[in-house]
Every structure is written in structure tokens, then in C-alpha cells.
Amino acid sequence: MINLNQYLKITREMYQDLDQSVFITNPQGKIAYANSKAIDLSDTTLQKLKGKTLSGLFPDIKNKYLNIRIRQEKFFSVKSKFSLNSRQGKFLTVSFMLIEHEKSVVGILAIINSDQEKNTRVKDEFRVNPVMQIIGKRPDQAWFILDMNHRVNVFCSESFYSMTGWKASQYLEGGWAFYFSLIHPDYIRTASHEFHAQYESRLKDPFLHDYVPIKLEYPIRKHNGNYLHVQELISVMERDSSGRIMYFIGVIKPQIESRDIRLKSKRIPAEALKVIEGKIFLSLDYLRKLRTKSQTLKSDNHAISEYRLTKREQEILRLILKGMSSEEIHSTLNISKNTVNMHRKQLMKKMNAKNIADLVAKGLRLGISG
């Protein structure tokens, strides 16, 4: 379990870059953090905001009411006057969300979207789009559309509820801040950095990477507090006349594996792609490297299953097959000669080799090459 200070240390950077006003309070409702948009909206400083209650910003919402309702529903949106220091304020729609980790309350998130009227019109257009209505019926996948010009969510299929317990309307109302708060804290920074790196590569080389989806894997917090491992695939949906990305379309799928999944996104390097007469191809050299890598992985798996070799033993066996002496292996791996000799003896014993020539022969039969 993490506390609010630890949570903010991990997530502050992500919330700071959002095009939403974000306030984060401690479990008692006192403000501990506000991003730059929220500070501008409040027309004050973070130091003056810290320690104030949310009812000090939203006088129509009493602290007792907020604390009871947020713990019952975990997310809700209301229209309230926004004001500070009893000055005349304007009415805004604010979304409140309970931040949890391992089913313990970390804090409360208050979200105000900018340009709310325009965002509602765009969301309605996608909601009635017949194509989105069709793909949105898949119960095992949740589809979404991101407006990259305004950094908002403009579509989410109803299946998001059956997967996570969170309503599609909550995904749209809470926007990026809502979804960030669902990602497991151990993964959120890496996921955010990877997405932005992939996004920048698509801005730098328009159309070159459009056919390759951005692929992320991480756990998200369900409404019941448990975490669900998901895979997120995001593709360019539409660019404007100047080539800038207007919309991303993506899908979130539950991961079937029960193992501990680490976030990964496998990218095809730009040098591996060749454009010939307007069509994109993979270079022959890149395909050869993939085949060699695949063969190496297969031989390593065979070595592990048949002889139960450790990674270090496989590494030393490969160097032996290159014809290296113990002295050369010691220099290459920067380990002592005694350690090298110990591993050689272990290899001879595990592989039941009579001598080095027999060890080399058995290594080659496994498909391990120098």
C-alpha cells in the first residue's frame, strides 16, 4: 500500500501535463496538489490552495456529503459553483473520484474539463456513429476514441462496464485524469512515457508508423478495487490536412494469462521499414535478424528444459562454442577465473559431457551457436 505523498511523487508529472483542472486531496478532503490548469482556474498559488477543503472551492458541496457519497459510489459528477475566498464564481461540472490502492483510500480526485460544451457535442457525434455502435457491442473488448487536439476522451463502448465495473459515461466525464488514476502506480509512469514516445514518433514521421498500433500492457483498478491486467492497442484514426493527428482509436482487452505481466511495447525500428512506390515493406536484413533471434530463443528454451541450464551457464556455453578459453571468458564477462571454471564443471556435469569436445558437440546439437 502507498500513501498520498508516494502516490503524488509517482503521478504528479502525468497530471501536470493534462488539459484538465485537477485537484487531489487527502482522504479527509484537504487539498494536497493542484496542477497548473487548476491553479490558473483558481487564480491563486498552490501554497494558498494546500490545506483548503474542496467545499472551499465548491461551496454547493459540503464535506460531509462529499465524503459519504464518494465512498459509496467512488465516482460522481455534479454541477456546482466554483469560487474561492467567497468571490462570485461560475457554475462548472466537476467529477469526484476516489483514489484507491490495494482497496485502501489514498485520496480524492476532483476533475474539471475545459471547454465542456464543445466536448459534449463531439462525444454525441461519436456516440450515434453507426460504426462505433457496431464495434462497441463486443463484450470482451472496450473501444475508445481520444481527441488529441483537446486531450479528451470522446467515445467509450459500454463493454467497459462489464470488464471493469466503471461506466462508459464515467470514462468520458473523468477523461484522462480518470483513466490515469485507474492504472496501477507501479506502471503508470512507464505507460505514460511509452505512449508519449510512440505519439512523438508518429508526429515526426507521419504515416510511416500509422499501421503499427501502440501496444501497452498494465493492470487497471476495477470498481471493486481488484486489479485487471489489460492490453491496450492504440492506432491513428484520423489526421488533419497538415498531417497532425486528430484522433486515436483504441481497444482495451483483458489479459488471459495469470502470470505477472510487465509493460512492454515492441516497436519496429524506422530503419527496418522500406517505402517502395508508396508501399511499406520490412527490410530483408531485419527479417533475417528476427529469424536468428527466434532460433536463439528456441535453443535457449531447449537448453533450459533438457539440461536446466542457468542464464550464466548458457552464456558461458555460447562463449565456449566460440572457442574462447577460460582466460578470455573471464575478461569478456568480467568475472573471476575460478567462477568461470566452476561454471565449466557444472556444464560438464549437467550435460554429462566426457570432455570439452563432447560438450561442444552437445551444445551444437541443441542449436546453440557461438
Residue span(s) of the chain under CATH 3.30.450.20 come to 4-113, 118-282
- The residue with greater pLDDT, 86 or 247, is 247
β-pairing verdict for 227-239 and 104-113: unpaired
Q: What percent of the chain has pLDDT over 70?
A: 79
Confirm or reject CATH 3.40.1350.10 for domain 118-282, answering yes or no: no
Q: What is the mean pLDDT of residues 220-237?
A: 94
With bands split at pLDDT 50, 70 and 90, how would you rate the model's confidence at 119?
low
Most confident of 96-110, 142-156, 198-212: 96-110
CA distance 329 to 332: 5
**252-260 average pLDDT score:** 63
DSSP-based helix, strand, coil % in the chain, nearest 5? 45, 25, 30
- 7, 106 contact by CB (below 8 A): yes
Q: Are 40 and 33 in contact (CB under 8 A)?
A: no
Of the spans 127-136, 153-162, 263-272, which averages the highest pLDDT?
153-162
> Residue 92 contacts by C-beta under 8 Å, 6 or more apart in sequence?
79, 80, 82, 112, 116
Mean pLDDT of 244-261: 75
Specify the pTM. Answer: 0.66
> What's the pLDDT band for 275 if we cut at 50, 70, 90?
low
How far is 330 from 342, CA to CA, in rounded Å?
A: 12
Q: Give me the chain's average pLDDT, please.
A: 82
Write the pLDDT tens digit of every residue in 229-242. Answer: 999 999 998 898 88
If one compares 277 and 102, the residue with the highest pLDDT of the two is 102
What pLDDT shows up at residue 175? 92
pLDDT tens, position by position, 177-186:
999 999 999 8
With 80 as the cut, is the pLDDT of residue 137 above it? no
What 272-279 contacts at long range (C-beta under 8 Å, 24+ apart), as own/partner pairs, is 273/208, 275/208
Those residues whose C-beta lies under 8 Å from the C-beta of residue 270, and which sit 6 or more positions away, are 201, 205, 208
Could you give the percent of the chain with pLDDT greater than 90?
A: 37
pLDDT tens digits along 190-214: 898 899 989 998 888 877 778 789 9
Query: Which CATH code for domain 284-365?
Result: 1.10.10.10
The three cell numbers locating residue 328? 578470455
CATH 3.40.50.720 for domain 4-113? no
Q: Where in the chain is the domain with CATH 1.10.10.10?
A: 284-365
